[in-house]
Chain A
């Protein structure tokens, strides 16, 4: 996979990592408290709107002044409340792609890109800007104003503009939102190519899981101003520690549970669902008896049997009644009442061969390791 090669080829040099540790008010209720090291390469920043993603980017760019904290890129301190350092935005050498793109409406594409090259001569400036536009496949639009070109073309111009200054770090706020899949993947290719040549920290805000897995070397999840998870995309998405990630990773079944007993020898524990009398065996994790946790099970991870299964490794076998069968476009959605409501996704073939119908008595099989414990909020 391409991401892997990038990962292997990159030995993040500690000298140009972006180290951010800031406290900044977000709203009356929430405060951004971010403490994170962003190594060269692409870091995905995840989170619901209002979680503080844009504020974090603005702090790094110097557009918002944190209440306290420290921001440094390599050796260069950009902000340090204790030492009274606050480098102004124009001196931070940031590349920032805004969600709204913020292209200058009164300038042509070429002059938008050349804007960041003020210190060099006009001729060189325009030549470099033209070359970069060319490499982002919008060279032919150099003399067009932003309102004269399409959305995808505008995004390419804005990306070129953010990169032309050869920034020390790059901040991308949902740079590809609203684009069709093929345009998106072509721009992602361009960005990956650029990333291979320029190893700088890139912070990439997105909601799109495909972008995460296609681009991200690391994921940082922000919720209500706090960093609640970080790591490699597959780790974060597959072993989600919190409900935000769970929703991103697609858990159809989320339950409030109480830890009933621990079985360290088996590496498991028993949890009782808050609704009803159902207990589930889950992997042993943080927390002790009586703790309240949240548990997520993917609808596609649940097996269905029409008679009581024997000699099977699945530790959770729950008897229930099918309450609803819904034919979706890609699979069939089953709702089963086992004392708690479970959503199960099956293929159409499985539903037919089992002869499943509403009111039928069934058994649900859930592996211990299909029960994901999430932090409770």
Chain B
């Protein structure tokens, strides 16, 4: 359980730093081909985790340049490690952070951004003085959703993390193990904890923000 929470926390914090600029870029610097990036970011929403996990495994393995580079750098492969899980989960939970962020950015009155600029604020200052404070509900939603989503992932973890207790065995995989071993009582306990945590997180999300699952905000 601790491992799972640690994974979800690390992933969520990293997502906050990666997804905020991406959401900013998708909202305010739209190019003709931005929709392609949107589709790419949204892919994990529809793709079976095994597909994602398969390609992530290949990319992390010794057959790919990235995998070889990482191995040369650290002496071991990325696959079947905690870091590997973090990277896989980042991709997997990316849309759950980017979409609520982008939705709340797009809801900001553009005149406020114009006003900020005329008052001498550059883009960076406008971002943290106007955009971020006015997007707090959306940011809370994105953070909570990516946390909950990472907490509950299964297929991807199994593909790239394997099932190594204490290293890559997350709660969802543990439940699978327990069921396989016919330990229904233990499985029920673990599953119930995950169910309650997820429900609480989603309640926080929907309590603070009602329009998250509307897809991309500008369509």
Q: Which residues of A does B touch, CB under 8 Å?
A: 58, 61-63, 88-96, 98, 100, 102-106, 115-116, 118-119, 161-162, 165
Query: Which of B118, B120, B122, B130 is A104 in contact with, Cβ under 8 Å?
Result: B130
CB 8 Å contact bits of B80-116 with A (1 = contact, 0 = none): 0000000000000000000000000000010110111
Query: Which of A58, A62, A98 is B115 in contact with, Cβ under 8 Å?
Result: A98
> Which residues of A are found within 8 Å of B130, using beta-carbon distances?
104
A115 with B116, Cβ < 8 A, contacts A88-B122, A90-B122, A105-B134 known: yes
Interchain residue pairs with CB less than 8 A apart (14):
A58-B114, A63-B118, A92-B118, A96-B114, A96-B115, A98-B115, A102-B111, A104-B115, A104-B116, A116-B120, A118-B121, A161-B119, A165-B119, A165-B120
* Closest chain B residue, CB of each to CB of A113: B119
CA distance A292 to B181 in the complex (A): 97
Verify A89–B118 contact, CB threshold 8 A. yes
CA distance A90 to B119 in the complex (A): 6
> Which residues of B are found within 8 Å of A98, using beta-carbon distances?
111, 114-115
Q: A90-B121, A102-B114, A116-B119 are in contact. List 14 more A-B contacts (CB 8 A).
A: A61-B117, A61-B118, A89-B114, A90-B120, A96-B114, A100-B109, A102-B111, A103-B115, A104-B115, A105-B134, A106-B133, A115-B121, A118-B120, A161-B119
- Overall SS of chain A's interface: loop
Q: Which 3 A-B pairs have the closest CB atoms?
A: A116-B119, A89-B117, A102-B111
Verify B117–A90 contact, CB threshold 8 A. yes
Shortest Cβ distance from residue A147 to the other chain B in the assembled complex, whole angstroms: 13
B129 in contact (CB, < 8 A): yes
CA distance A92 to B120 in the complex (A): 8
CA distance A88 to B113 in the complex (A): 13
> Which residues of A are found within 8 Å of B134, using beta-carbon distances?
105-106
Chain B, interface size: which category?
Answer: 10 to 19
B125 in contact (CB, < 8 A): yes
Which of B116, B119, B121 is packed against the most chain A CB atoms within 10 Å? B119
CA distance A95 to B120 in the complex (A): 10
Verify B116–A100 contact, CB threshold 8 A. no
> Which residues of B are found within 8 Å of A161, using beta-carbon distances?
115, 119
Query: Which of B114, B122, B125, B133 is A63 in contact with, Cβ under 8 Å?
Result: B114
CA distance A106 to B119 in the complex (A): 16
Verify B112–A102 contact, CB threshold 8 A. yes
CA distance A346 to B115 in the complex (A): 49
CA distance A187 to B184 in the complex (A): 75
Verify B125–A118 contact, CB threshold 8 A. yes
